[in-house]
Chains A and B, each alone.
Chain A
Amino acid sequence: MKKYLWLIAIIILFIIAGFILKITYNFVVQSRVNVEKAISILKDEFVPLKMKIFIDGNKISYQLKFYDLMGTNVAALNNEISGNQLFIDFYVIKIKDNFLFFPYLIYSNEIPPVMGKKIFDIYEKNYDGILFPEIYASENMNENYLKFISSIWQAIKSGNITFFSSNYNGNALHLLSNISEIDPNSVYEFVCHTSKGGIEIVKR
């Protein structure tokens, strides 16, 4: 019996190694995000943000409402800032010929971006420990999509987006108050074009 002990030990070792390999494989496969499948859930054009604005002298009062891909209001923000032009800054990230948009900063013509107000947390939601930007919530959302968006979200928040995609930039949009009629009753929509990477402000 002692003669075959080494053989039994080797078999047990093989079983354990196989078991570890299987667990690792499952972990890798499960944690791997299928980018194409996740991107297919995105819409070609969507409105993550709507704005109401009132300018009184050198003070801007603004109301921001955030919307998910289904058009449901998911968060809101009311605030004031000095200046007469409000800048809404978006991260624009290119992944596999598609663009993702994340509103992240607010400042004005008088306040430099470095002193702007971060608006990340306003539209963030916790899905069982996974932090997710609710503007990307969709009726077709699955685990793969949730992981894909939240991984980008984490990269942006930690300032490591360069490790995720080398192709990204910021786009700060602002209404030119001397030209556009700033109507306090009007709603300005930020229309994001997923395939082109552009953002427009449309007055409704």
Chain B
Amino acid sequence: MLNVDLKTIIILLSTTAVLSALYTFFQFLFKFHPEKKISKFFFILLTFLKSIGVFFFIVIALYFIYYIYNTINQYLTLIEMKKYVKNLSRERVLAKISITDFSENSFNCILELYSLTGKLFKKSSYQLNGTEFYLDFVVLNFDYMFIEKGSNNIAYPSTIFSDSIAYDNGIKLLSSNELKEFLSADSDKFIGLNSKKVISLSNFIFNCISNDDFARKNGIRSIIGSALHHKIFSKSIYKVYLQNTGGLSMVEENF
């Protein structure tokens, strides 16, 4: 992608202005002061200046056309991104953890991850040391300029660990490919976007997750981790909810 900064444009514009001024000055001499003999060298120089000036002018014009095209394109992507984020940030269940067995220093659990429409995306069993489970999610907060204040976050499951297992030693819940699938799962159920667009936007989000510079340039205010946890007292079931305002919350399911 062409990336011309403001400094380059100013240099090009000032060079064009200087060349135009010189050209105008010599043209003035030719037309209104023919008595002043100008050598062949000056004539060649003038023609050269004229061609360079025209070249620079074309470059600047092309850049502005590109800039306008890019701005319109970005604006359209922004509209689509808003729709995408709005779809994904609908208040819903993200995960369900069922404690199937526990002892004084370990526990077994079944973790179910859900896609946008509440369909089961992945189901896995884990055995961990500890007395408290920790379910870590990555939450993408969009810039207030980009989306209304305090709303529309995207979250996806990241790691499971426990009170006696450090985060770095925890188990990753989704591989890179699974994450891509998770972000575009149920693409036909997105309101206002077709499947193709959803997949393209999920790739865009995936790039934001893996590249912080890209994320910041594209309206993501912060990417944080949020590890929800609960002490294990019994064979219980907990559900993690994504809220369109204020992040995540966990509720124990009552029978």
- Residues of chain A touching chain B, judged by Cβ–Cβ distance below 8 Å, are 45, 83, 85, 87, 89, 92, 99, 107-114, 162, 166-167, 169-176, 178-181, 191, 193, 196-203
A99 to B212, CA, bound (A): 32
A166 in contact with B249 given A112-B163, A173-B225, A200-B141 (CB within 8 Å): no
B51 within 8 A of A: no
Task: Check if B212 sits within 8 Å of A114, measured CB to CB.
Answer: no
Complex contact B252–A166 (CB within 8 A):
yes
- Which 9 residue pairs are nearest across A and B when measured between Cβ atoms? A198-B246, A198-B247, A193-B246, A196-B246, A197-B249, A172-B227, A170-B229, A179-B223, A174-B225
List the B residue with the shortest CB-CB distance to A166. B252
**B225–A85 touching, CB < 8 Å:** yes
Residues of B with C-beta under 8 A to A99: 249
Binds A, one of B54-62, B68-76, B79-87, B165-173: B165-173
Q: B: which residues have CB within 8 A of A?
A: 130, 132, 134, 136, 138-139, 141, 150, 153, 161-168, 209, 212, 215-216, 221-230, 233, 238, 243, 245-252
A187 to nearest B CB, angstroms?
13
Residue in A112, A167, A198 whose beta carbon sits within 8 Å of that of B252 in the complex: A167
A-side contacts of B243, CB under 8 Å: 193, 196-198
Contact call A112/B166, Cβ cutoff below 8 A = yes
A171/B227 in contact, CB under 8 A: yes
Q: Is B230 within 8 A of A171, CB to CB? A: no
A residues in contact with B132, CB < 8 Å: 113, 170
Complex contacts, A167 vs chain B, CB 8 Å:
251-252
Asked whether, in the complex, the Cβ of B246 is within 8 Å of the Cβ of A197, the reply is yes
Instruction: Tell me the minimal C-beta distance from B98 to chain A in angstroms.
Output: 15
Residue of B nearest to A193 (CB): B246
Residues of B within 8 A of A112 (CB): 161-166
Residues of B within 8 A of A45 (CB): 150
Given contacts A92-B249, A171-B248, contact A201 B224 (CB under 8 A): yes
Q: A114-B164, A167-B252, A172-B229 are in contact. Are A180 and B246 (CB under 8 A)?
A: no
A112 (CB) vs chain B CBs: closest residue: B166
Given A167-B251, A173-B226, A193-B243, 11 other A-B contacts at CB below 8 A?
A85-B167, A85-B225, A111-B166, A169-B229, A169-B249, A170-B132, A170-B230, A176-B138, A193-B247, A201-B141, A201-B222
| Contact present for A87 and B247 (CB under 8 Å) | no
Q: Determine how close the nearest CB of chain B comes to the CB of A164; give it in whole angstroms.
A: 14
Tell me if B246 and A200 are in contact (CB < 8 A).
Answer: yes
Shortest C-beta distance, B173 to chain A (Å), equals: 15
B227 touches A87 (CB 8 A): yes
State the CA gap A160–B248 with chains docked (Å).
24
Q: Find out whether the CB atom of A109 lies under 8 angstroms from the CB atom of B252.
A: no
Distance to closest chain A CB from B164 (angstroms):
5
A-B contact pairs, 18 of them (CB 8 A): A85-B167, A85-B225, A87-B227, A110-B166, A111-B166, A112-B163, A112-B165, A114-B163, A167-B252, A169-B250, A171-B250, A172-B134, A175-B225, A176-B225, A178-B212, A180-B222, A193-B243, A198-B247
